[in-house]
Structure 1
Amino acid sequence: MGVEIKVEGLTKKFGSQMIWNDVTLTLPAGEISVMLGPSGTGKSVFLKTLVGLLKPDAGSIWINDRDLTRLREHDLYEVRKLFGVLFQDGALFGSMNLYDNVAFPLREHTKKNESEIKRIVTEKMELVGLAGAEGKLPGEISGGMRKRAGLARALVLDPEILLIDEPDSGLDPVRTSYINQLFIDLNAQIDATFLIVTHDINTARTVPDNIGLLYHKHLAMFGPREMLLSSEEPVVRQFLNAQTIGPIGMSEEKDADELAQEQGQELPPLPPIALQLQTSDGTRRRAERPAGEWCRENGVVPPPGSFMSKNAGVPGVSQHTAHTEHAEPERAVS
């Protein structure tokens, strides 16, 4: 089962350049969280800081009642065994075939014999759909297969926390959909705590249990998926719905003249909130909540057409009459 990660007042600088300041959030145990943000806001830096590859300038990262920022190198090494990391490009060794790439953490960090290593590697490669590709080199396979091989390697030590950096980078929409479904299925099977850094809005709208948004050197918002997808907070609304009206510009922030020109312009309506992706076999994930539950509990009326299913009847029905059982979601239409 995954573990909770509690981040308090985390601050990171490179020299005089502030990357982000006073970031505070809790990644719930066993849940899928997504971290968004415009380019250059330090999302990948945040992942590297969580796993202890970068040291923050201030703040704490609590895992199992231990603050990673204050651990000695030996103790930090032990805590890192809780993590599996999928880097943006897969970070595979080009001279090793996929089998040896996936086996590498087992050979490096355990005393398992080759028979046991083979069993584990075969199991993880089957899990990510790479059975039969063990002998291929990274240069002989597609980008999507390299991502899945990197994911298999991240899974071989049975991590309780999975950090995933830009899984959609370099992938077409179809392959992105496949890997998103794989994350949902994996979370149901291993119950690990997931943190995914991505720019893909469809991923953010349909995969996670929680969403965070880094913007202008701080955490703009973090919370349940439905909270952010129904938010009227300008930067959250603009980013999650890919709108041009709002504080984000081509160079991160719009200047005063650009913002003045937008005064009085009517914002497009919020698109419907799509149903969250379900597991391939229809089983319910432990972290999964019924569609619309957060909105009902907090008295928020979601956009019309939210939580629609192909089996839910007439288009235009809101979450108040949409079902909360498992079903295939329709695309959200604004």
Structure 2
Amino acid sequence: MGVSIEVRGLTKSFGSQKIWNDVTLTLPAGEISVMLGPSGTGKSVFLKTLVGLLKPDEGQIIIEGQDLVTLKEGDLYEVRKLFGVLFQDGALFGSMNLYDNVAFPLREHTRKSESDIRNIVLEKMDLVGLSGAEDKLPGEISGGMRKRAGLARALVLDPEILLIDEPDSGLDPVRTSYINQLFIDLNAQIDATFLIVTHDINSTRTVPDNIGLLYHKHLAMFGPREMLLSSEEPVVRQFLNAQTVGPIGMSEEKDADELAAESGKELPPLPPIPLQLGTSDGTPRRAEKPAGEWCRANGIVPPPGSFLSGNAGVPGVPQNVEAGRAALS
């Protein structure tokens, strides 16, 4: 089972440039969370800070009762074994074939025999759909395959926390759908805590259990998927629905004159909240919640059409319209 990550008052700057300030949230154990934000808001910096590659200026990162910010290097090294990290481009060694790339953490951090390493590597490569590609070099395969190889490498030490940086960058919509399904299936199988940084709104609307949004040097909101997808908070509503009306401008935030000019405009209605993506075989994940549960518990009426469609034909997703209607009642 994954472990929770409690972030308290995290602040990070590079020189005089403030990246974000007073970020506080808890990534629930075993759940899939997504972190969004306009370009340049420090999403990748946040991932690197969580794993201890960057030191924050202030704040705490609590994992299993230990504050990563104050740990000595030797203790931090041990806690990092809880993590698996998938970087944007896979970060594979170009001179090594896929087998040796995936085997690298096992050879570096364990004393397992080559026989045991082979069994683990082949298992993880099969898990991400790369059986038979062991001898290929990173330069001989597609971007999607490189990402899956990077994911296999992130999995070989059986991490309890997976940090995933823009898995959809450079992928076409079909490959993005495949890798989204892979994350759902992996979460069901290994029950790890996932944090995914992405710009892809379709993925954000259907994959995670929780969503966070970094904006203007702070955490605008973090919480259950249904909370953010039904939110009327201007920056959250604008970003999650890809609208031009709102505080986010082409470069940074809009100035007072731009916002004043928009004040009389009628906002388009919120789109329906889709059903969350299910596992390929229909087996429920431990973290999976009934559709509409958060809305019902908090007295929120979701946008019309929510939970009735939007995932038609997706494997593992209940297609029963009556079940969707029940979620609204």
Deviation at 1:127, TM superposition (A): 0.1
Q: Secondary structure at the match of 2:186?
A: helix
Deviation at 1:221, TM superposition (A): 0.2
Q: Secondary structure at the match of 1:123?
A: helix
Instruction: For 1:250 and 1:19, locate their aligned partners in 2 and report how far apart those are by CA, in whole Å.
Output: 19
Instruction: For 1:71 and 1:129, locate their aligned partners in 2 and report how far apart those are by CA, in whole Å.
Output: 37
Q: Secondary structure at the match of 1:295?
A: helix
Q: Secondary structure at the match of 1:253?
A: coil
Deviation at 1:312, TM superposition (A): 3.6
Q: For 1:143-222, what aligned pairs fall within 5 Å after superposition?
A: 143-222=143-222
Deviation at 1:260, TM superposition (A): 1.4
CA contact (8 A) 1:226 1:292 kept: yes
CA contact (8 A) 1:312 1:323 kept: no
Q: Secondary structure at the match of 1:69?
A: coil
Q: For 1:1-334, what aligned pairs fall within 5 Å after superposition?
A: 1-309=1-309, 310=312, 311-313=319-321, 320-321=325-326
CA contact (8 A) 1:144 1:171 kept: yes
Q: Secondary structure at the match of 1:24?
A: strand
Moved >3 Å (runs of 4+): 309-313, 317-324
1:14-49: CA deviation from partner (whole Å, max 9, x where unpaired): 001100000000000000000000000000000000
Identity, in percent, stands at 85
Deviation at 1:256, TM superposition (A): 1.4
Instruction: For 1:154 and 1:318, locate their aligned partners in 2 and report how far apart those are by CA, in whole Å.
Output: 37
Instruction: For 1:135 and 1:252, locate their aligned partners in 2 and report how far apart those are by CA, in whole Å.
Output: 45
AA aligned opposite 2:222: F
Q: Secondary structure at the match of 1:9?
A: strand
Deviation at 1:322, TM superposition (A): 5.2
Q: 1:323 to 1:182 in 2, by over 3 A?
A: farther
Deviation at 1:318, TM superposition (A): 10
Instruction: For 2:37 and 2:77, locate their aligned partners in 1 and report how far apart those are by CA, in whole Å.
Output: 29
CA contact (8 A) 2:187 2:285 kept: yes
Instruction: For 1:214 and 1:323, locate their aligned partners in 2 and report how far apart those are by CA, in whole Å.
Output: 30
1:279-325: CA deviation from partner (whole Å, max 9, x where unpaired): 00000000000000000000000000000145444xxx99544599x
AA aligned opposite 2:271: P
Gaps of 5+ in 2: 313-318
Instruction: For 2:150 and 2:261, locate their aligned partners in 1 and report how far apart those are by CA, in whole Å.
Output: 46
AA aligned opposite 1:97: N
Gaps of 5+ in 1: 325-334
1:75-106: CA deviation from partner (whole Å, max 9, x where unpaired): 00000000000000000000000000000000
Instruction: For 2:325 and 2:69, locate their aligned partners in 1 and report how far apart those are by CA, in whole Å.
Output: 45
Aligned length: 321
Aligned partner of 1:327 in structure 2 is none
Instruction: For 2:326 and 2:52, locate their aligned partners in 1 and report how far apart those are by CA, in whole Å.
Output: 46
Instruction: For 1:111 and 1:232, locate their aligned partners in 2 and report how far apart those are by CA, in whole Å.
Output: 53
Instruction: For 1:44 and 1:293, locate their aligned partners in 2 and report how far apart those are by CA, in whole Å.
Output: 31
AA aligned opposite 1:36: L
Q: 1:227 to 1:322 in 2, by over 3 A?
A: closer
Deviation at 1:255, TM superposition (A): 1.2
Deviation at 1:58, TM superposition (A): 0.1
Aligned partner of 1:332 in structure 2 is none
Instruction: For 1:322 and 1:39, locate their aligned partners in 2 and report how far apart those are by CA, in whole Å.
Output: 35
CA contact (8 A) 1:35 1:213 kept: yes
TM-score for both structures, normalised by structure 2: 0.96
Deviation at 1:263, TM superposition (A): 1.2
Q: 1:307 to 1:186 in 2, by over 3 A?
A: same
TM-score for both structures, normalised by structure 1: 0.94
CA contact (8 A) 1:84 1:155 kept: yes
Instruction: For 1:196 and 1:152, locate their aligned partners in 2 and report how far apart those are by CA, in whole Å.
Output: 16
1:178-218: CA deviation from partner (whole Å, max 9, x where unpaired): 00000000000000000000000011100000000000000
CA contact (8 A) 1:187 1:285 kept: yes
Aligned partner of 1:328 in structure 2 is none
Q: Secondary structure at the match of 2:69?
A: helix
Q: Secondary structure at the match of 1:8?
A: strand
Q: Secondary structure at the match of 2:22?
A: strand
Instruction: For 1:321 and 1:292, locate their aligned partners in 2 and report how far apart those are by CA, in whole Å.
Output: 9
CA contact (8 A) 1:304 1:318 kept: no
